[in-house]
Chains A and B, each alone.
Chain A
Amino acid sequence: MTKYILKRIMYMIFVFAAMSIILFFLYNLIPGDPARAEVEHLKETLNPEQYEKAYQDARERMGLNDKTIVRYKRWAVGVLNRDLGRSQVHKKDVTELVKTPLKNTIKINLISVFLGLAITIPLGIYCAVRRNSNFDKVVQVLTIVGYSIPAFIFGLLFIYVFAVKLKWFPVSGMGTPNLKGSSWVLFKDQLWHLGLPLMVMTLASLGGLTRYVRAAMSDALSMDYIKTARAKGLKEKTVIMSHAWRNALLPIVTLLVGWFASIFYGSLVIERMFNLNGLGKLLIDSLNSRDYNVVMAIQLLYIMVALFSNLITDISYGIVDPRVRVDR
């Protein structure tokens, strides 16, 4: 097992390096000259020769005259030393800049994941137990509707109903500006602001997950050991909760790992829609303002999270189901 994990980690490092090279070269294809931007304001005050010299100095200082591969090496060394460069727009170190949005994104997504689980697991189990009942059929259709409609359409609808018409929630934002008070007041205010985005996010994730839980549970319920358990005269509750559910958990757990990974990049549309200061919104804003150091950092974070979650998924397969041998 340890050998397998080590092998996987080596492979992850390789993939990460390859992706970072591809991204770095991609970003360098983009027209734009940071040195020119830096000396632009001097154009008025200096004569052309001095300006040209200042520009060339800036290029030299930023290392723009080097070959791309040399620059990549320098950048990669920086990344390894936890220096992700500076944001051109915010005039801040990227590591500094990313902190708050990352925290917000994780917070929002964690809540929505738990809300989603709290709804989908009981619902999925119930549907599987009452398979082909009318309730199940209705839920089946609703889940198709649920995963067919993109989050932003839910968002538009919810804003219209709950923020514009009923005025229960604010339209956007993370908190009332300049609000002062005890931490309880602040917390309540934030909860009030996050109510709508959380509802939309949870709702958008219900469809797919309910179907998945139902399918896993149905599979488990059709097994022979369930018949045995029933034949033994066990209570139906025991059959479902301890015999079927614990076996259905296997595929669900592996799915959950992937889902927790999406905590980092799942709320892109929602953050943009409700103007929440999260990682996704930072990514969109930075892309729009061509602040590529930030984009690069977020992208690398995404890839890292994705690779790790893949690894954990594979390992968890082995842990939750001893029949699966990952390290063969």
Chain B
Amino acid sequence: MSDNKVIDKKADEKKKKSFFRLMISNLFGRKEELSIFEEEEVQSPFRTVINTFKENKFAMGGLIVFLLIFATVLIGPLIKPIDLSFHETSQQNVEPGFDMMKIPDALNGKIQDIAIGPTFSIGASTDGNLYTWGKTKISPTIDIKNTPEDMGNIVKLAAGFDHIIALNDEGKVFGWGSNRQKQSKVPAEISQVRNIKEIYAGYQCSLILTEDGHTHFFGNSMNNDFNIFHPYQGQLDKVAFTSDAVIGLTFDGEVVYLGTLKNSYSKFPEGMGKVKDIASTASTVAALGEDGKVYVWGNISQKSKENKIPEFSGKVVSINGGRYHYTALTEDGKVIAWGGNTYKQSEVPKGLKDIEKVYTGYYQNYAIGKDGKATTWGLKGYLLGTDELGRDIFTRLLNGGRMSMTIGAVAVIISTIIGVVVGSVSGYFGGRIDNILQRLSEIVASLPFLPFAMILSALIGNSMTSRQKTILIMVILGFLSWTSLQRLVRAQVLSVREQEYVIAAKSLGIKKSHIVFKHILPNVISVIIVSATLSFATSMLTEASLSYLGFGVQAPQPTWGNMLYGANNSVVIQNYWWRWVFASALLGTCVICINLIGDGLRDAIDPKSQER
């Protein structure tokens, strides 16, 4: 009896186990229980396609690279949004690299003076050596690095837009760099002057200030409103340059305008009292009052808000101006900065203290601590350089990539829809409809594609905005490229039309349109996918060619094609290689990848094509 029970129990357990097993295998698939033959049997055609595709190394490589590029251009613009109206003359055609604030080690610690240009900097050490860093090559022929020889011990430096002025300990002035407006050719009269106190370099002009308050100006006097016969000779203590005007500070602490015009610079704020220091950006002037308060006036831009001085504690002892921002040094050695922040030039690093001097110019800042070491912040450089309007190529590539892909995708969607509808209708209904549609398709296919797209874009897009024109390009590309898919779909439908399941559907009395789109189309979907992939690549190429010729998407909206529009001359090809190399490389890689994917897909879906 008891024996029996035990046996019963055992049998029960066995039953339970197999039940669990069954449950598990039902839940998670019974892969392990299948023999190889069975597995082969249940593999769906879709699985086969994926497996074949996976085995194709080139296609998989293409897919991975394409997905990487795709993800980058999808996410990139969110991180680096583009400002279409942005342009910056001081940052034109800057080479790739991040060395704009890389102060040489030999100089760090014994800095005598630093002068900051738009993309280059120059420093003099206490032992009389000169160092240049950053993008010193400002034109194919002019390089700031080529300093004149035998200058002696340089004690003061000033950097303008494209030239350098230097002063040595014997009071001699030197200039080099661009000399188009004679801004770096020191006039003979200045070599007589011995009591030079300060040197200044502005936009294409230079100024020498003597101990007794006299000014000597040379360079472009057309662009800079400077009155050589200004009434303050012999009274000036300091001078500041905006990009088009000169402001002075007298020994009495009065701010004066040294030009002839009446403008926003000459409208000084009231109640400044005795001014201790002045500074300037490209379009504004700042003054430091006796009470340590800072006043800003001039052409204050909405974007930079140079007059929005942050709250701070303590008294300001000196102020400096960059291109669109200011820095100020307080009496307890702290630095505050405000104004334009496009390159994070007014974000002072945290924990900066015991600062003795701050050099600020254009988009760079160098704060010198008590130990003589420099802390820098601002514009380091550009990953891929800048273009002819000073726009960052990396940002434009990201945003342009998104635009290129969007155009390609929308064009493909349009052409696929037209192609599928026309092809299936034409193939299924046949007869007169087929005849008309085929003739129409022939006409469209016989049009020379590129010239015709060009002409349509030029004619219809004649008075369109940049945005409308972009949409127009998508539509043109879509409407001109549906014919090959149409032919493919039609042929497929023709071959499927007479198969049993369609006849069965027909005999059940299902509507014709339903048969075409619900029963026949799913069976030709593979052809459509392959064709869409390959024509995505073609659309991107055509858009690039159109934009390259100037008939596609218009600037400032970037695409990979129109970024190459300006690159079509030997000067750009030779000197500014970064303006065409990156865009072409990216466009080429992307199209190659899409074509590899398309080829791989075709081989996977239609194994017969592999035989070829």
Contacts and interface: CB of A to CB of B under 8 A. Distances in A.
Interface in B579-612: 580, 584, 587-588, 591-592, 594-596, 599, 611-612
B446 A307 contact: yes
B459 A283 contact: no
B588 A30 contact: no
Best-buried of B462, B568, B574 by chain A (most CB within 10 Å): B568
B591 A148 contact: yes
Interface string A277-298: 0001001100110000001001
Interface stretch (B73-81, B99-107, B476-484, B537-545): B537-545
Contacts of B447: 302-303, 306
B570 interface: yes
A149 interface: yes
A171 to B, nearest CB: 4
Nearest to B446: A306
A310 interface: yes
Given A148-B595, A149-B588, A150-B541, A273 B568 contact: yes
A145 B574 contact: no
Interface string B204-223: 00000000000000000000
B458 A287 contact: yes
Interface in B203-248: none
A185 interface: no
A268 B451 contact: yes
Interface in B436-455: 439, 442-443, 446-448, 450-452, 454-455
A141 B600 CA distance: 12
Contact of B592 (A145, A164, A306): A145
Contact of A287 (B455, B580, B591): B455
Interface in A255-282: 262, 264-265, 268-269, 272-273, 280
Contact of A149 (B451, B592, B612): B592
Interface residues on B, range: 35 or more
Given A156-B584, A219-B612, A299-B451, A147 B459 contact: no
A302 B459 contact: no
B577 A160 contact: yes
A30 B462 contact: yes
A215 interface: yes
A316 B257 CA distance: 84
Nearest to B449: A265
Contact of A147 (B448, B451, B550, B595): B595
B347 to A, nearest CB: 38
B463 interface: yes
B551 interface: yes
Nearest to A273: B568
B592 A148 contact: yes
A81 B549 CA distance: 34
Contact of A268 (B450, B594, B596, B599): B450
A123 interface: no
Contact of A215 (B442, B573, B587, B612): B612
Contacts of A150: 541, 544-545, 548, 587-588, 591
Interface in B531-564: 537, 541, 544-545, 548-551, 564
Given A306-B446, A306-B447, A26 B573 contact: no
Nearest to A311: B446
Interface residues of A, number: 54
Nearest to A214: B612
Contacts of A299: 451-452, 455
Given A302-B448, A306-B448, A164 B570 contact: yes
A111 interface: no
Contacts of B596: 144
Given A156-B580, A269-B545, A302-B451, A144 B599 contact: yes
Contact of B574 (A151, A160, A214): A160
Contacts of B573: 156, 159-160, 164, 171
Contacts of B564: 152-153, 156
A182 interface: no
A268 B588 contact: no
A168 interface: no
Contacts of A302: 447-448, 451-452
A29 interface: yes
Given A218-B612, A283-B451, A269 B549 contact: yes
B510 to A, nearest CB: 33
A152 B447 CA distance: 22
A273 B568 CA distance: 7
A239 to B, nearest CB: 18
Contact of A156 (B58, B459, B460, B567): B567
Contacts of B451: 265, 268, 280, 283, 298-299, 302
Given A272-B549, A299-B451, A19 B611 contact: no
A222 B608 CA distance: 12
A31 B462 contact: yes
B459 A29 contact: yes
A141 B58 contact: yes
Contacts of A287: 454-455, 458, 551
B538 to A, nearest CB: 10
Contacts of B612: 214-215, 218-219, 222
Contacts of A307: 446
A29 B594 CA distance: 38
A153 B587 contact: yes
Contact of B450 (A149, A163, A265): A265
Nearest to B585: A153
Nearest to B612: A218
A13 to B, nearest CB: 13
A233 B452 CA distance: 54
Interface string A18-39: 1100000011011100000000
A326 interface: no
Nearest to B442: A310
A253 interface: no
Nearest to B575: A164
Contact of A153 (B551, B574, B588): B588
Interface of B: 58, 439, 442-443, 446-448, 450-452, 454-456, 458-460, 462-463, 537, 541, 544-545, 548-551, 564, 567-568, 570, 573-574, 577, 580, 584, 587-588, 591-592, 594-596, 599, 611-612
Interface of A: 11, 15, 18-19, 26-27, 29-31, 141, 144-145, 147-153, 156-157, 159-160, 163-164, 171-172, 214-215, 218-219, 222, 262, 264-265, 268-269, 272-273, 280, 283-284, 287-288, 295, 298-299, 302-303, 305-307, 309-310
18 contacts: A18-B443, A144-B596, A152-B564, A153-B587, A156-B573, A160-B574, A171-B570, A218-B611, A268-B450, A268-B451, A280-B451, A283-B454, A284-B550, A287-B455, A288-B550, A299-B455, A302-B451, A303-B447
Given A156-B564, A269-B549, A284-B454, 20 more contacts: A19-B443, A144-B592, A144-B596, A144-B599, A148-B537, A149-B592, A151-B545, A153-B564, A157-B584, A164-B570, A172-B570, A218-B611, A262-B448, A265-B448, A268-B450, A280-B451, A284-B549, A299-B451, A306-B447, A310-B446
Which 9 pairs, one residue from A and one from B, show the smallest C-beta to C-beta distance?
A148-B591, A148-B592, A153-B584, A171-B570, A306-B446, A265-B448, A218-B612, A164-B574, A149-B588
